[in-house]
Homo-oligomer: A and B are copies of this chain.
């Protein structure tokens, strides 16, 4: 990759991205997809089943980088579409205030969040989705859980990198 313009901005070569990951915190977004009823009460929480780089199957939230010259809400939509497909109809909240930020450190134990590849700081949002979800790319499956089911220790344990903690923080912010 020799030139960067707005349309392909943020696409670094693998080497360049690896170099940046050793020097700078990388900006991410995390989204917790939910189904809501007509009162706005969360009835279901969606978790992806994803094939990790180590070949292990893990549950995960929708998550991804914010690219150069990309707005945070565009990054949310792009990552939701990447994982849930083009017909998911996500309703990104009008306020840019995240319910929390998750600081993923390469060193375990600094925070509840861990990412062996990098220091990532993620803006976390709950996003109602109204359409049909079809997992894409490295997402094998999307499973909907009730708020009660999703907080079962067995389910939380399948979330890697501390995302079980992030999910519980999302549920707490929803009052459930």
A: residues with CB less than 8 A from B are 4, 6, 9-10, 12, 16, 20, 22-27, 34, 36, 39-42, 66-74, 77, 91-101, 103, 105-107, 110-112, 119, 121, 123, 126, 128, 168-169, 171-176
| A40 in contact with B175 (CB, 8 Å) | no
Cβ-defined partner of A12 (8 Å) among B12, B16, B23, B96: B23
Expressed in whole angstroms, the minimum distance between the Cβ of A127 and any Cβ of chain B is: 9
10 contacts between A and B (CB under 8 A): A4-B23, A10-B23, A40-B94, A69-B105, A72-B121, A95-B174, A95-B175, A96-B100, A97-B101, A172-B173
- 7 further interface pairs, Cβ-Cβ under 8 Å (given A16-B23, A20-B23, A96-B174): A20-B24, A40-B73, A72-B103, A94-B128, A96-B103, A97-B101, A172-B172
A25-B68, A106-B69, A119-B68 are contacts. A173–B95 as well, Cβ < 8 Å? yes
Give the chain B neighbours of A71 by CB distance below 8 A: 103, 110-111
Expressed in whole angstroms, the minimum distance between the Cβ of A150 and any Cβ of chain B is: 14
A98-B101, A101-B96 are contacts. A121–B73 as well, Cβ < 8 Å? no
A172-B173, A173-B100 are contacts. A40–B93 as well, Cβ < 8 Å? yes
Cβ-defined partner of A24 (8 Å) among B24, B42, B119, B121: B24
| B36 in contact with A94 (CB, 8 Å) | yes
Q: Chain B: which residue is nearest A106 at the CB level?
A: B69
Give the chain B neighbours of A93 by CB distance below 8 A: 40, 93
Give the chain B neighbours of A101 by CB distance below 8 A: 72, 96-98, 123, 175
